[in-house]
């Protein structure tokens, strides 16, 4: 029976590939027929790697796959756009023979943090990387505690975790687990007083968490005086971060960054830690990472009319992701123009929750000459900017018009845009593109 | 005249941008040229409401609300006798309900499934926008604050007490409700205070555009 199901699913996958339409449909159909189908597969010489978390799981899992493939390993990866269990099942079927034997060296699964429980109950992973749990998509995730509780249930029978030691929230997952920790130990990029006033989780067992220093929101070197709760000792540490050279020094070895932003430091560290846990030589990983390149859909920097234009992709409804851009912008000291906007808040829901925008700490950006608020919610963005204290606020519900106006300004531009505005913005800015 | 706002559990019950509700009040009073103090209360502080004029508390995760309740228990009498303004939003409404501190005449009914929805409500014939993300709804004969699309009243008001079921920066986005509450605070304090007209251009434009774009409502 299972053999026939797998054959059928493989046929569907083949048709999908011919039509250039990768989808999770084959996995969905097979799972509906046999809910125990995951148990059919054998991963004798295959390692299973799961990557989950509120943000960074796509970038981290992609980097893991790039490195493994660069090192000539065969990898199964759910890169067809879905990170739910059906897509994972489809990926497994595609990379196993009809008897369920894995044909790859590694499976790397990017998993939705709330729905990973459906995969965890059927598969035992060799390594699970949890990037972070932050305030994210309030209508869907409700709140971080909900996600933490669900994820924890799924992790019950799992083995080694890869965890950010700087993040106290991650300690929710470590009970009774083998853990590989990573952290930053470079005070040059830290700050002493909390600047992200709406960060999540300030307490541990009703005691306010204190910090020797912060790196971002509630990540940093933390401790509690009454509870025995502090930054755990790390296996992998970044001791020097050089955003100019796009390099970090980790356990004495230089690694290349793709972006001059903290989220990339943590993503890179998490990937290095994963390979450390898998007993890879870190120099080999460092060499492989030299081939990293900038994905211009995430971060793009160019010169237009003798001024710098930086375009950063933020993730709507995730203030943590947005705040990474704010942290980067806080480092840019010059007089500047800020552009914030999106085509739509979310494609998932019929409603348009705006509350997350108030957890974004625009207040930490200095020397903003003008703010352009762009898109359908330009007026709501403008209201938030008023509260941030910006004086010169320009509102345009039309992106093209906004870009035309921007071209009459001569200051450096920093555009923090949702993914749906990245390509149109770059396209409209293309004239006078020099670099 | 000086107005004191106490934002209860400022860094503990702070789910989604709700700190801006106390800031909206603060800014309104500043614009009225009133001296104002915003106290950011935390779990490790004692609760001193002696000279407080407005007490605000925002939404939090369910386990945190229980901790907040345990903290507030020892101040139950003090809070019961507190006749100044209290505003709670989201699931923080449970704190003052019959379920917890029992100082207001409503109870909270916990839904089996989470209620996640956006609603256009009416307050004194003006449209306002609210976002629900909660298991908890108010049940009372006095649910009398906002009129929903089914012509039913939701949320709860009793004199200077406001239990608003919606989350997020509700007072920022609904400027005329902010004005209503804040003016009452001022006039409770000084009945002959001459209220100034405040420029709500950004607030008005944002609400108007939102209602027009998403609900085809001309406000």
Helix (H, G, I), strand (E, B), or coil: what is residue B158? strand
Residue with more model confidence, A34 or A17: A34
Closest Cα in chain A to B207: A380
Q: Output the domain CATH number for residue B178.
A: 3.40.50.880
**Residue B51 is part of which domain span?**
2-215
Domain residue ranges of chain A, discontinuous segments joined by +: 2-289, 299-429
Range A297-313 average pLDDT: 92
Interface test with A, best of B13, B16, B114 (most A CBs within 10 A): B16
pLDDT value at residue A433: 47
Closest partner CB to A353 (pick from B12, B114, B118): B118
Selected residues 136-165 of chain B with any CB under 8 Å from a CB in chain A: none
Range A345-359 average pLDDT: 86
Is B171 a residue whose pLDDT tops 90?
Answer: yes
Cβ contacts (< 8 Å) between A214 and chain B: which residues?
none
Superfamily (CATH H level) for A299-429: Mur ligase, C-terminal domain (3.90.190.20)
pLDDT digits (tens, 9 = 90+) for B97-127: 999 999 999 999 999 998 999 999 999 999 9
B15 to chain A, any CB pair closer than 8 A? The answer is yes
pLDDT value at residue A17: 81
Closest partner CB to B61 (pick from A145, A358, A378): A145
Residue with more model confidence, A305 or A377: A377
Contacts of A21 (CB under 8 A, 6+ apart): none
B66 to chain A, any CB pair closer than 8 A? The answer is no
Contacts of B40 (CB under 8 A, 6+ apart): B7, B10, B11
Closest Cα in chain B to A358: B17
What's the whole-model pTM score? 0.94
Residue A431 pLDDT level (bands cut at 50, 70, 90): low
Cross-chain residue pair B214–A359, CB shorter than 8 Å: no
Rounded to an integer, what distance in angstroms lies between the CA atom of residue A367 and that of residue A329? 10
B58 to chain A, any CB pair closer than 8 A? The answer is no
pLDDT value at residue B56: 98
Rounded to an integer, what distance in angstroms lies between the CA atom of residue A30 and that of residue B155? 46
Range B16-22 average pLDDT: 94
Interface test with B, best of A353, A363, A395 (most B CBs within 10 A): A353
Q: Taking a C-beta distance cutoff of 8 angstroms, is the pair A27, A90 a contact? A: yes
Rounded to an integer, what distance in angstroms lies between the CA atom of residue A14 and that of residue A21? 10
Residue A12 pLDDT level (bands cut at 50, 70, 90): confident
Range A171-176 average pLDDT: 89
Range B157-182 average pLDDT: 97
Cross-chain residue pair B172–A352, CB shorter than 8 Å: no
pLDDT value at residue A434: 45
Range A367-375 average pLDDT: 97
Nearest chain B CA: its distance from A125 CA (Å): 30
Q: How far, CA to CA in Å, does B193 sit from each of B26, B38, B180, B185?
A: 17, 21, 15, 11
Helix (H, G, I), strand (E, B), or coil: what is residue A435? coil
Cβ contacts (< 8 Å) between A143 and chain B: which residues?
15, 61, 133
Handedness of CA B163, B166, B167, B172 (dihedral sign): negative
What is the CATH code for A2-289? 3.40.1190.10
Range B204-219 average pLDDT: 93
pLDDT value at residue A237: 98
pLDDT digits (tens, 9 = 90+) for A192-244: 999 998 888 789 989 999 999 999 999 999 999 988 899 999 999 999 999 99
Rounded to an integer, what distance in angstroms lies between the CA atom of residue A103 and that of residue A95? 6
pLDDT value at residue A137: 82
pLDDT value at residue A404: 93
Domain count, chain B: 1
Closest partner CB to A139 (pick from B133, B213, B214): B133
Rounded to an integer, what distance in angstroms lies between the CA atom of residue A212 and that of residue A266? 19
The ipTM (two decimal places) reads 0.97
Range A100-123 average pLDDT: 91
Range A67-90 average pLDDT: 88
Cβ contacts (< 8 Å) between A316 and chain B: which residues?
none
């Amino acid at each position: 029976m299972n053999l026939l199901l797998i054959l059928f699913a493989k046929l569907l996958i083949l048709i999908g590939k011919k039509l250039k339409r990768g989808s999770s449909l084959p996995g969905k159909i097979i799972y509906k027929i046999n809910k125990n189908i995951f148990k059919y597969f054998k991963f004798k010489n295959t390692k299973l790697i799961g990557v989950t978390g509120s943000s960074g799981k796509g970038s981290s899992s992609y980097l893991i796959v790039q490195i493994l493939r660069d090192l000539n390993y065969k990898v199964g990866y759910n890169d067809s756009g879905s990170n739910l269990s059906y897509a994972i099942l489809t990926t497994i079927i595609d990379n196993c023979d009809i008897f369920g034997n894995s044909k790859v060296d590694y499976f790397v699964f990017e998993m939705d943090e709330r729905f990973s429980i459906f995969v965890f109950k059927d598969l035992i992973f060799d390594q699970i990387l949890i990037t972070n749990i932050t305030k994210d998509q309030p209508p869907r995730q409700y709140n971080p505690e909900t996600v933490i509780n669900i994820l924890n249930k799924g992790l019950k029978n799992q083995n080694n975790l890869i965890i950010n030691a700087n993040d106290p929230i991650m300690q929710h997952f470590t009970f009774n687990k083998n853990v590989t920790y990573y952290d930053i130990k470079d005070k040059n990029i830290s700050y002493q007083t909390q600047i992200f006033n709406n960060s999540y989780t300030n307490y541990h067992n009703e005691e306010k968490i204190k910090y020797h220093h912060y790196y971002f929101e509630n990540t940093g070197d933390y401790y509690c005086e009454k509870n025995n709760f502090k930054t755990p000792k790390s296996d992998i540490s970044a001791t020097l971060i050089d955003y100019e050279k796009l390099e970090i020094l980790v356990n004495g070895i230089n690694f290349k960054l793709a972006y001059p932003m903290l989220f990339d430091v943590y993503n890179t560290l998490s990937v290095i830690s994963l390979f450390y846990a898998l007993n890879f030589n870190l120099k080999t990983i460092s060499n492989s990472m030299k081939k990293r390149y900038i994905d211009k859909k995430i971060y793009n920097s160019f010169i237009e009319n003798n001024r710098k234009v930086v375009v950063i992709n933020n993730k709507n409804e995730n203030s943590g992701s947005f705040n990474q851009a704010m942290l980067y912008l806080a480092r840019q000291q010059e007089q500047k123009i800020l552009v914030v906007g999106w085509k739509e808040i979310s494609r998932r829901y019929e409603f348009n929750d705006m509350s997350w925008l108030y957890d974004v700490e625009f207040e930490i950006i200095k020397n903003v000459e003008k703010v352009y608020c762009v898109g359908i919610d330009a007026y709501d963005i403008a209201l938030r900017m008023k509260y941030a204290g910006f004086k010169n606020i320009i509102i345009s519900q039309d992106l093209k018009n906004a870009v035309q106006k921007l071209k009459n300004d001569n200051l450096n531009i920093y555009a923090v845009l949702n993914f749906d505005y990245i390509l149109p913005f770059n396209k409209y800015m293309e004239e006078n593109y020099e670099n | 005249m000086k107005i004191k706002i106490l934002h209860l559990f400022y860094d503990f019950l702070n789910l989604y941008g709700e700190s801006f509700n106390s800031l909206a009040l603060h800014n309104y009073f500043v614009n009225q040229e009133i001296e104002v103090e915003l106290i950011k209360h935390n779990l490790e502080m004692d609760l001193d409401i002696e000279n407080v004029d407005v007490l605000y508390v925002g939404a939090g995760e369910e386990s945190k609300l229980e901790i907040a309740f345990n903290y507030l228990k020892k101040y139950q009498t003090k809070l019961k006798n507190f006749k100044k303004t209290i505003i709670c939003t989201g699931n923080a409404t449970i704190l003052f309900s019959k379920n917890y501190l029992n100082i207001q005449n409503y109870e909270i009914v916990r839904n089996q499934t989470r209620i996640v929805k956006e609603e256009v409500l009416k307050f004194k014939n003006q449209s306002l926008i609210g976002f629900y993300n909660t298991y908890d709804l108010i049940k009372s004969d006095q649910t009398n604050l906002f009129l929903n699309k089914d012509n039913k009243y939701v949320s709860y008001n009793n004199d200077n007490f406001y239990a608003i079921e919606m989350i997020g920066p509700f007072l920022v986005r609904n400027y005329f409700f902010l004005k209503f509450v804040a003016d009452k605070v001022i006039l409770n304090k000084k009945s002959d205070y001459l209220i100034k007209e405040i420029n709500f251009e950004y607030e008005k434009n944002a609400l108007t555009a939102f209602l027009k774009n998403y609900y085809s409502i001309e406000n």
